Amino acid sequence: MKISLNGMAKALLITIFSSVILIPTAYANNPLPTIKADAPNRYTVKKGDTLWDISGRYLDSPWRWKEIWATNKQIKNPNLIYPNDILILCVIQGKTLIGVDTGEGCAGVEKQLTGNMVASSVTITSTANSIPAIPMTAIQHWLDKTIIVNPKDFNTTPYVLASKTRNLITASGDKIYAKGVPLIVGQRYGVYREGEMYVDPRTQKIIGLEVTQVATGLATNVASNGVTSLQLTDSYDKEVREGDRVFVELDNAIPPVFYPTPATVNRGGMIVRVMDSISSAARGSVVAINLGSIHGAKPGDVLTVYQKGPLVRDTIDNDTPVRLPSEPTGMVMVFNTFDDISYAYVLSSELPLNVGDQLLPPPYL
**Average pLDDT of the chain, as a whole number:** 85
- What integer pLDDT is reported at residue 168 of this predicted model? 66
Per residue in 210-243, pLDDT tens? 999 999 999 999 999 999 999 999 988 888 999 9
Q: What is the distance between the alpha carbons of residues 175 and 171, in angstroms, rounded to a whole number?
A: 10
Q: What is the distance between the alpha carbons of residues 91 and 108, in angstroms, rounded to a whole number?
A: 12
Per residue in 73-87, pLDDT tens? 777 788 889 999 999
Question: Which H or E run contains 343?
Answer: strand 342-349
C-beta separation of 67 from 33 below 8 A: yes
**Residue from 185, 191, 184, 188 nearest 161 by CA:** 191
CATH architecture of the region 261-360: Beta Barrel (2.40)
Q: What is the pTM of this model?
A: 0.82
Q: What is the distance between the alpha carbons of residues 183 and 192, in angstroms, rounded to a whole number?
A: 15
- What integer pLDDT is reported at residue 149 of this predicted model? 93
Residue ranges of the chain assigned to CATH 2.40.10.410: 261-360
Per residue in 193-213, pLDDT tens? 999 999 988 888 999 999 999
Residue 32 has pLDDT above 80, yes or no: no
C-beta separation of 357 from 329 below 8 A: yes
- What integer pLDDT is reported at residue 25 of this predicted model? 41
